[in-house]
Chain A
């Protein structure tokens, strides 16, 4: 148990792990999906797989915003960034994500005005500081970041800042979970629910998963003990044959979510009829677009967007990994052509992508063991 010594309350961790072994029926194989990329990262970092019995399989979900974005959207954003008047602003996570003709960082090296911002409000500030330029913020993220983009757009409108726009790639988690449950090759017994998304949306939006799909779901924190406790809660439900929504992360997640954040999203965004997700294909009503009342700040209406659709590099199997059909190491490019240093697919870029997480913790460990280090 690699990191047990670092855990808070190692004794409780050990006891919880024992409880998991006691609760898990040895004749049954459990497939639990952690929806959130932050959980995926934590699972590899803490070596939780070494703690769990082999019949509990953790399937990595779609909750890594950089990973699920299809390459065409990156190319569309970069195409707008090439306009001489445009400053392309994005979070650092986006900078190394490959488009068909290179990442934002590679475009910057070729002379495009690309800026890293840490907050959408700083992209707006860039616009104030550069009145002769147009700042386009490449927005990504689930409900954790969408309210901040919304509030920033409300400020831009209130202050009449016209040299600012948002290229909106915000996605919503619930339709992605529905797509996974509807997919015939996905058999998930229960879900570890996302922690930070739930601070915004609360726990109610998950109720249909329990009620209609009869799958237990536990909203979980990110510490090793949080996740182990969530697995205990799921196993209790699976043993009793019940399916409810439970909140293990009560210290941060209110059952009703954050009303002000939801209000900001409702003011600025509406659902797109369709949006393409890498691996999951087109999912109806799964992403946000900017409402007509904010059209003057919508990059897709301020500019003409090429509407690029590119498929992932042929040999890369990002889609299958993203759906949990393949493990990262089963992809033909994993660890050879595709590494965190030279990523071919987005799952190798973000620390929340399952390929990068697997590479950084499992693969390096195994390589070191094989080299006798």
Chain B
């Protein structure tokens, strides 16, 4: 729940309220961009995701570092389980 998961915005979905397809190490899920309405991310941008919502825009380098931090903390599997769980598709 308190994991901050880095992902890259692949596509902002037209006609869907603030939803985007975001990729986290090869897994693509719908993530809500509604909490970044002041500075909406575009495809290619990197974001930090908490509980299915993008909470901040970050650089590609910081995204890589955050992935590394999750790995060091032993939280990579939990993070990927969370991402796979988004959208009730799993």
Contacts and interface: CB of A to CB of B under 8 A. Distances in A.
Contacts of A41: 73
Given A148-B52, A264-B35, A196 B2 contact: yes
Interface in A99-155: 116-122, 125-126, 129, 140-141, 144-145, 147-148, 151, 155
Interface string B64-87: 010011001111001001110111
Q: Name, among B2, B32, B62, B72, the residue most crowded by chain A CB atoms within 10 Å (CB to CB).
A: B2
B51 A148 contact: yes
Contacts of A200: 55
A130 to B, nearest CB: 11
Contacts of B78: 351
Q: Name, among A126, A252, A352, the residue most crowded by chain B CB atoms within 10 Å (CB to CB).
A: A252
A324 interface: no
A252 B56 contact: yes
A306 interface: no
B8 to A, nearest CB: 16
A118 B55 contact: no
A255 interface: no
Interface residues of A, number: 51
A118 B53 contact: no
Given A145-B1, A352-B2, A119 B34 contact: no
Interface string B6-33: 0000000000010000000000000010
A221 B4 CA distance: 11
Contacts, number: 122
Contact of A122 (B17, B37, B69, B88): B88
Nearest to A265: B35
Given A122-B88, A147-B35, A37 B2 contact: yes
A221 B69 CA distance: 10
27 contacts: A8-B65, A42-B73, A65-B1, A92-B1, A92-B82, A93-B2, A116-B85, A118-B82, A119-B32, A119-B53, A119-B86, A122-B52, A122-B87, A126-B88, A141-B51, A145-B51, A155-B17, A199-B48, A222-B69, A251-B59, A252-B48, A252-B58, A258-B35, A258-B56, A260-B37, A260-B38, A264-B35
B58 A118 contact: no
B32 A148 contact: yes
B65 A260 contact: no
Given A38-B2, A264-B35, A118 B51 contact: yes
A37 B36 CA distance: 25
B49 to A, nearest CB: 9
Given A148-B52, A196-B2, A223 B65 contact: yes
A45 B35 contact: no
A117 B35 contact: no
Given A148-B50, A151-B32, 4 more contacts: A122-B87, A147-B55, A200-B55, A260-B37
B85 A252 contact: no
A120 B36 CA distance: 17
Given A126-B88, A151-B34, A351-B75, A261 B58 contact: no
A46 interface: yes
Nearest to B37: A260
